[in-house]
Amino acid sequence: MEPIVWTDKLLLDYEPMDTVHRDFIAVLAAAQAADDANLEKAWVEVIDHTRSHFDREDDWMRHSGFASADSHILQHRVVLNVLREGLALARSGQYGAVREMASELAAWFGKHAQTQDAALALHMRRHAEYPAPRPRPGGTERPRARHRASSSG
């Protein structure tokens, strides 16, 4: 099992999404590295993070009029249901199955991020208010274009 690692190929140029994706990678990597005694706890953290991650994206899609929202949200629901099944497996001591699930989740995430999330990031950059720039080290700020939210929400 290859451990999941962050790669710049996952960057979507929408900082709120890039940040949550980096966090997802870290949480999933911790679960992949967990020993049997800590796998259940690590899997709960994967579920908790993923639920929050998906809730945030689902809200963006609903409130910004994202055209592919229904299928994207459905995929989120399916993945969360599978993750909950993984927790039941961990609780019954089927650690190998959970580790296989972690590998499948890593593979799925890369594809999902580069397709469905990339489309959402593009949409958010075009139709929602882009987040304000963070102060850069040394106190310099890089100006960023700001986009207005659509009037549909």
pLDDT digits (tens, 9 = 90+) for 45-83: 999 999 999 999 999 999 999 999 999 999 999 999 999
pLDDT digits (tens, 9 = 90+) for 3-22: 899 999 999 999 999 999 99
Q: State the pTM of this model.
A: 0.81
What does residue 13 show for φ and ψ, rounded to 5 degrees?
A: 60, 35
Cα distance between residue 123 and residue 108, in whole Å: 21
CA-CA-CA-CA torsion sign (75, 114, 30, 133): negative
Q: Which of 106, 116, 95, 117 is nearest to 38 (CA)?
A: 95
